[in-house]
Structures are given as structure tokens and as C-alpha cells.
């Protein structure tokens, strides 16, 4: 049983299943669960909405709703919810550029970060000052805390609702001992060698073969090249999610929408060996955007997260390989597009296929 409170203060219990908390070091935690809106739980389900807060009674940790999807199952609605730890409220504060320059202590920066918010902090270890040659600021507080202060000062952190605890290292080495049969079940190990095979075939250049240009690079836009799906191939598309003038949409679609409840993976990977040329949140509808380029073709992932700074793991200039984990899909879908018209076309997007390419022959979905 969870507890939910809406923005005006109404509270109710919320009967939920498949409750899962995901906490990773150096990230803001997430909560996911499913609610079957029957007569018993209808009131609590009715409080689900923007800015609502769900509390896990066992840990007393609070999570702010970020995504809700529902589907009719028989005579009730099945609602799938994703929420981000209340630490994500740091994203409500934007810090101007160059609010601090020169040598600053971690305490100086944290005072700027939490001023005017509900957050408090404790620095448990000593840290040397950091020289901000280009100034500190120019971003949202959560992004500056995780992606600027943590690597600059070299600290790890944990959140206890609005309390931030900062350490050189979170936890202790050898702090937990596994005892077979006492605090863990029996350890089972199975190894299968039947499918181990090695086949080696030479693919070197024939010395007798004439080529017009020995230095000519392969065309990375070949549909039969090294492209892979950004979220796997285990799902299916719904009406209006395909490229072009598809039924059920009402307008022309310039890419593919991978719905997060349709069997696709929530882990987004690079679809090709590429260079990341854009990471941001420029458009009101984008909910996070990543653009990569390979050869003469640009690909983009967008609309995958309402808290893109927490769910995006690449930066501009980074070189990625096909299959590298670049983001998490915590919104209700991922929009994926491809174009040969350059970065400006990729970022702008529109209700037209002009300048865009159908990704399906490339991705094999």
C-alpha cells in the first residue's frame, strides 16, 4: 500500500502492485508501480496527476509523479505509473550563469544550490576548493549538482527526501556479509557450453582486385549496415506511431514512436557508431533530445523523459558505439527520427516527412 497526496493536500491510500524502486549511485531514484482502478482503490487513483507525490511507507521516501499510462482491462483501468524521487524538485530551480567564479568551497556552491528551496544538506567529509575558471551556474540545480559539482569535487551523495548527504564515498567496504542458508538462499550455478563455437573467416582485400579509391569510406546510410533498434525488437507499434501519414494520428509523422508499454525496452541504446552532436530540451514537447551523426545521416531520440537530465547519459562530442546505453525511457514513448538534412532539421522537426527518412528499413523493426 502506498500513500498519495495531490498538490492541494488531499491524501489517500493507494493500492498498488509491481512496486519497484530503482536507486543507482550518482542518480536520482525512481519508483514504478501499477494500480488497478477498481471500486476499492478509485479514490486514491483519482489523485494521480501532475505534481502529485507518492510516499513509500516502509522507507518514508517521497516520489513525484512523472508519467502515467492507462489501459482498459475488463471493467477497470490498469494504470502504470513512473515517479521520480522528490530530489527531482531541484529541477524547479534555475541558477543563472556565472553566479560564482574563482576558487569556491563545496559549501559555497551548495548554499547557492539550495537557497530558496526546501532542501538542506550535510557535508560529512572535507573537500578541497575548486577553481571555477568559467564560472559556476547556467543550469538547473539538479543538473549542476549531479553533473558539475559531484565530478568537480569528487563526492558521492544520497537523498533522504529533502535532505542531501554528501560523502567522499557512500557506504563502507565489506560492510555486509552473505551467509549461505542464513541471509541468502542456496547459491546455484549452471554452465552450458553446448553453444560455444568459433568460426574464423578471412575478409582481407584481394591483392589482385582493382579499386577506384582505396580510401573510400563505406556509406553509413546503407539500410543493411550496422544499424540496430534503440529499444530492441520485442514490441509492436500502435496506430499513429509509424512514419508518414499513418492511420489514427491525424497528421503526418516524421519518425517512429516506440511506446514504453508495448514491449519495447526502457533502456535506450545508440543505434549506430556515432558522434553525439546535440543533447538538450529545446522544444516544449521534446522531453529530452539526443542527436547523433554517422556518415551523412543524423538520427535523433526525443520525448523519452520529463526529467531528461537524470535519464540522459551522453554529452555533446562523445563518441558512442552501437548498443551503448545512452538514456532511459521514462516517458510513455520514445520518438526516433532520421534525416540527411543536418542538425537543424533534426532539432526542428515538424508534421511533415520532408527531409526525414523512414527508420524501419534501417532498424529492422
User: 323, 270 in Cβ contact below 8 A?
Assistant: yes
Choose between 335 and 97: higher pLDDT. 335
Instruction: Select the more confidently predicted residue: 69 or 41.
Output: 69
**pLDDT at position 100, please?**
86
Residue 242 CA to residue 335 CA, distance in Å, equals: 10
- List, for residues 170-203, the tens digit of each pLDDT value: 877 777 677 766 777 666 778 888 777 777 776 6
User: How many Å apart are CA 229 and CA 270, to the nearest integer?
Assistant: 8
Predicted confidence (pLDDT) at residue 215 exceeds the cutoff of 50: no
pLDDT at 216: 41
- 259: pLDDT strictly greater than 90: no
Instruction: With beta carbons less than 8 A apart as the criterion, state whether 232 and 265 touch.
Output: yes
Which segments of 115-204 does DSSP mark as H helices, in order?
141-144, 150-153
When pLDDT is cut at 50, 70 and 90, the band that residue 221 belongs to is: low
Q: Which H or E element spans position 114?
A: helix 106-114
Listed residue (295, 158, 176, 277) closest to 226, CA to CA: 295
Average pLDDT of every residue of the chain: 85
Amino acid at each position: 500500500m502506498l500513500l498519495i497526496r495531490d498538490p492541494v493536500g488531499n491524501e489517500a491510500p493507494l493500492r498498488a502492485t509491481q512496486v519497484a524502486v530503482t536507486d543507482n549511485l550518482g542518480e536520482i531514484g525512481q519508483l514504478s508501480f501499477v494500480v488497478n482502478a477498481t471500486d476499492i482503490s478509485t479514490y486514491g487513483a483519482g489523485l494521480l496527476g501532475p505534481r502529485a507525490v507518492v510516499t513509500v511507507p516502509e522507507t518514508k521516501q517521497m516520489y513525484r509523479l512523472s508519467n502515467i499510462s492507462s489501459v482498459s482491462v475488463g471493467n477497470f483501468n490498469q494504470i502504470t505509473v513512473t515517479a521520480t524521487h522528490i530530489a527531482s524538485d531541484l529541477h524547479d530551480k534555475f541558477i543563472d550563469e556565472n553566479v560564482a567564479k574563482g576558487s569556491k568551497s563545496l559549501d559555497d556552491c551548495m548554499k547557492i544550490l539550495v537557497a530558496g528551496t526546501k532542501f538542506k544538506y550535510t557535508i560529512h567529509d572535507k573537500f578541497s576548493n575548486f577553481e571555477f575558471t568559467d564560472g559556476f551556474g547556467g543550469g538547473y540545480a539538479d543538473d549542476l549538482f549531479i553533473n558539475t559539482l559531484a565530478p568537480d569535487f569528487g563526492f558521492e551523495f544520497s537523498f533522504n527526501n529533502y535532505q542531501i548527504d554528501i560523502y567522499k564515498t557512500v557506504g563502507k567496504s565489506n560492510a555486509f556479509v552473505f551467509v549461505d542458508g542464513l541471509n541468502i538462499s542456496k547459491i546455484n550455478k549452471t554452465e552450458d557450453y553446448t553453444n560455444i563455437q568459433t568460426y574464423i573467416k578471412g575478409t582481407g582485400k584481394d591483392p589482385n582486385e582493382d579499386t577506384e579509391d582505396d580510401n573510400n569510406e563505406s556509406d553509413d546510410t546503407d539500410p543493411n549496415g550496422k544499424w540496430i533498434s534503440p529499444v530492441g525488437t520485442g514490441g509492436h507499434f500502435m496506430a499513429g506511431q509509424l512514419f508518414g501519414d499513418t492511420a489514427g494520428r491525424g497528421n503526418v509523422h516524421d519518425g517512429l514512436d516506440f511506446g514504453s508499454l508495448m514491449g519495447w525496452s526502457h533502456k535506450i541504446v545508440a543505434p549506430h557508431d556515432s558522434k553525439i552532436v546535440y543533447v538538450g530540451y529545446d522544444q516544449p514537447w521534446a522531453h529530452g533530445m539526443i542527436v547523433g551523426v554517422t556518415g551523412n545521416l543524423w538520427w535523433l531520440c526525443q520525448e523519452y523523459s520529463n526529467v531528461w537530465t537524470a535519464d540522459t547519459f551522453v554529452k555533446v562530442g562523445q563518441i558512442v558505439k552501437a548498443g551503448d546505453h545512452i538514456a532511459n525511457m521514462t516517458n510513455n514513448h520514445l520518438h526516433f527520427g532520421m534525416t540527411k538534412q543536418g542538425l537543424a532539421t533534426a532539432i526542428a522537426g515538424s508534421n511533415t516527412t520532408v527531409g526525414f527518412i523512414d527508420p524501419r528499413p534501417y532498424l529492422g523493426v
